[in-house]
Amino acid sequence: MVDYRSSLRIEPGREGAGSPQPGHRAPVARRSLSLDEYVEGVRRADRAILGRAITLIESSSDRDQRLAQELLTRLMPHTGGAHRVGITGIPGAGKSTFIETLGCNLTAAGHRVAVLAVDPSSGRSGGSILGDKMRMSRLAADPNAFIRPSPSAGTLGGVARKTRESMLICEAAGFDIVLVETVGVGQSETVVAGMTDFFLALMIAGGGDELQGIKRGLLELVDMLAINKADGDNRSRAESAAREYANAMHFMTPVDPGWTPPVVTCSAIDNVGIDELWRRIEEHRAIVTASGQLAARRKQQLLQWVWTMLEQQLQAMLTGHEQVGRLRLELEQAVLDGRLAPTLAARQLLEAFLTHPPDPPEVTDDPA
């Protein structure tokens, strides 16, 4: 029987978690914190304050966002220390069990592990803190692990920003491994691959038919494919699936020259092959660190992120623009009827936008 109160991590601190004294908890939980309190609380990995800092990041109130961005700016110098690993997996691949087993192995090896999620569908599917933590109750109860459920629904861009910034907060709190999980809705794999050092896809053996359902472009993003549930009578099917995937991987040009994405098998539930899998991930890190590819990848990710947010916000403004919206249906119909050249339609929409430029948005990039 799991103690969800303890898994919620708002009770007094544990050894090594560096939480405040019991006496301080209640007040800390109630009154609003100063920027300095946030900075110091996160830096000493105070779990209550860490949780509140991420809540601040996720808040869409403008006042919270301003404070959140000041906090991030203060913490930035202390970020970048973690090994960032993205993990995706088709439904039924056993992602939660895998992350729980991997996470527990890593904390047992002395690591401090944060688990974040990018799930633009979590609002629709009603993903809840309890749900997320129940799926990983052992890891959730681990003093050296911190599990943060997906931010509540929003645009993928918004969810991605919150997750990226939560990752930085966790790094500033000294977590040396961040696992970013995605359910792979829409473009979320690309987004997670774009914020991590290593991207792992979890698969399971299936009939050839199921393999056809593999998501477009996924094979091109991954640094490793792992066929999970390679246990019992399923073992040989997993092995042959691994060979099939390896064959498909063969057609992909690797993300990092010098690293050909391996296809491995494992059993998360039996904890078989998980350590070996992690050794490969560390091997990749050593290679791309030595070659300078890791530094280059991170720098490129950081600048790409700035520009992506900028373009996303601008496009959100375009989509949500009043005059553009009014014109759009009418012009699109004219184009479909062959009454208007598409280029002219685009130009008229652009004119409508630029002649009524919107105000810069608040940082919260969820125009929904």
Which of these segments, 72-80, 86-94, 128-136, 196-204, binds a second copy (CB under 8 A)?
72-80
x/- string (CB under 8 A) for a second copy, residues 175-214? ---------------------------------x--xxxx
295 binds a second copy (CB under 8 A): no
String of DSSP letters for 5-58: HHHHT-SSP-TTTTPPPHHHHHHHHHSPPPHHHHHHHHHTT-HHHHHHHHHHHH
368 binds a second copy (CB under 8 A): no
DSSP-based helix, strand, coil % in the chain, nearest 5: 55, 10, 35
- Smallest separation (angstroms) from a second copy to the CB of 31: 25
Q: Which is nearer to a second copy, 18 or 206 (CB)?
A: 206
296 binds a second copy (CB under 8 A): no
- Smallest separation (angstroms) from a second copy to the CB of 151: 14
262 binds a second copy (CB under 8 A): no
- Smallest separation (angstroms) from a second copy to the CB of 313: 6
Task: Tell me how many residues contact a second copy (CB under 8 A).
Answer: 65
Which of these segments, 125-133, 145-153, 184-192, 360-368, binds a second copy (CB under 8 A)?
360-368
x/- string (CB under 8 A) for a second copy, residues 151-180? ----------x--xx---------------
Instruction: Check if the beta carbon of residue 119 is closer than 8 Å to that of residue 185.
Output: yes
| Sheet with 263-265, edge to edge strand ranges | 145-147, 113-118, 177-182, 83-89, 198-204, 224-228, 263-265
27 binds a second copy (CB under 8 A): no
Q: Which is nearer to a second copy, 88 or 267 (CB)?
A: 88
300 binds a second copy (CB under 8 A): no
Give helix 62-75 / helix 156-172 axis angle, nearest 10°.
40
Torsion of CA 288, 250, 193, 216, to 10 degrees: 170
Q: Kindly report the number of other CB atoms within 10 A of residue 47's CB atom.
A: 22
CA neighbor of 363 nearest in space, from 326, 316, 320: 316
State how far the Cα of 199 lies from the Cα of 180, in Å rounded to an integer.
9
What value does the CA radius of gyration of the chain take, rounded to a whole number of Å? 22
Q: Which is nearer to a second copy, 31 or 216 (CB)?
A: 216
Given 232, 299, 320, 326, the residue binding a second copy (CB under 8 A): 299
State how far the Cα of 298 lies from the Cα of 242, in Å rounded to an integer.
30
Helix (H) or strand (E) holding 198: strand 198-204
State how far the Cα of 90 lies from the Cα of 66, in Å rounded to an integer.
37
Q: Kindly report the number of other CB atoms within 10 A of residue 241's CB atom.
A: 24
x/- string (CB under 8 A) for a second copy, residues 103-142? ----------------------------------------
73 binds a second copy (CB under 8 A): yes
CA neighbor of 184 nearest in space, from 99, 118, 265: 118
Which of these segments, 135-143, 180-188, 225-233, 243-251, binds a second copy (CB under 8 A)?
243-251
Interface contacts to a second copy, rule CB under 8 A:
69, 72-73, 76-77, 79-80, 161, 164-165, 208, 211-217, 219-220, 247-248, 250-253, 299, 302-303, 305-307, 309-311, 313-315, 318, 331-332, 335-336, 338-347, 349-351, 353-355, 357-361, 363
